[in-house]
Amino acid sequence: MERAAGRAPQPGPGPPLGKGLSFAGAGCGQRLSHLVQSLRSKKDIDRTFRDGARYYSPWAVLHARRRGGDEMTSVFPRLTVITGKKFRRAVPRNRARRLLRESVRVLLGRQAAPWDLLLVARLDVLETTAEERLSTLQALLRKAGVLAEPPAQT
């Protein structure tokens, strides 16, 4: 890619993910990272663990809890990804977090719904492809009611 005088190179279109999905910011010129916020406070994380519904897959567990009433600090979903000590080393642990966080951001897109989402990653997440992660997370988010069901085709 040639560099224009005084301008930084522009990113390419990003990896294709199938079914009309692409990673946030890849070729679309807009960042979606501010739309899925971080779930940071220990009180909120504990509340999501305790009160949230659980949905299981071979490589992650989703805890989902809808916020309401006095908790409405934002209408956007909040997410945290937890990786356990079984990952052993920092590089695979951080990679698993990045992969899951980005997959959720791609799926939720511009959706404004007050959910607290907590993903507990398992070791097998590093062995999955992007399409497998997206399809499985999409199924988990639909079961939880975070994503709307696709319209029925007639």
Tell whether 8 is covered by a domain: no
Task: Compute how many other C-beta atoms are within 10 angstroms of the C-beta atom of residue 80.
Answer: 20
Give residue 136's domain range.
37-144
Per-residue pLDDT of the chain (154 residues; tens, 9 = 90+): 444 555 444 444 444 444 444 444 343 434 444 577 888 889 989 999 999 999 999 999 999 999 887 776 777 888 999 998 889 999 999 999 999 999 998 998 877 788 999 999 999 999 999 999 999 999 999 999 998 776 666 6
Tell whether 152 is covered by a domain: no
Prediction pTM value? 0.72
Tell whether 128 is covered by a domain: yes
Write the CATH number for 41. 3.30.230.10
Please, which residues bridge with residue 120 across strands? Answer: 61, 82
Number of domains in the chain: 1
CA distance between the termini of the chain: 46
Q: Whole-angstrom Cα distance, residue 130 to residue 133?
A: 5
Q: How far is CA 130 from the centre of its chain?
A: 12
> Where would I find the H helices in 52-129?
90-108
Q: How far is CA 144 from the centre of its chain?
A: 14
Instruction: Using only the alpha carbons of the chain, give its radius of gyration.
Output: 17
Tell whether 65 is covered by a domain: yes
Tell whether 63 is covered by a domain: yes
Tell whether 116 is covered by a domain: yes
Tell whether 10 is covered by a domain: no
